[in-house]
Amino acid sequence: RKFAMDVRELNVDWIDSINPFNNAYSIMSKAMNESSLKAMAEVIAAKKHNISLDEARDLAKRALQFKQERGRLPDLKSSDPWEQRMAQGIAVLARLKAEQSNG
């Protein structure tokens, strides 16, 4: 009972210091849209999976065949594991290309 305190006496600066990224998160959440969230998900997915360069190239070739047959690229969120794998291969190649262009 001796530790009970009135919530109105809490220092607001102390509460804000618990989550120092709160302001950045609120700004980013307003600036994000569906396409940028998908791009971020692709980058995260590319980092999760350990795919060799040769396998990624093979998956990208198969993804192009998939696109010709179905009119769209493979989706990372598909229920089909093979479609997910092709999308992961594309994401890995995109990440490697971005790393090479950035140095």
**Model pLDDT for residues 44-102, shown as the tens digit of each residue:** 766 666 788 899 999 999 999 999 999 999 998 889 999 999 998 998 888 888 888 88
CA distance 93 to 103: 15
**What type of residue is 93?**
L
Quickly state the pLDDT bin for 38 (edges 50, 70, 90). confident
Domain boundaries, the chain: 34-102
CA-wise closest residue to 81 among 54, 65, 59, 102:
59
Q: What does the block give as tokens for 89?
A: 């291969």
Residue 66 CB partners (closer than 8 Å, separation 6+): 73, 74, 83, 86
pLDDT at position 68, please? 95
- Let me know: does 74 contact 26? Beta carbons within 8 Å: no
Crossing angle (nearest 10°) for helices 53-70 and 81-102:
120
pLDDT at position 16, please? 54
- Give the position of tokens 């998900």: 41
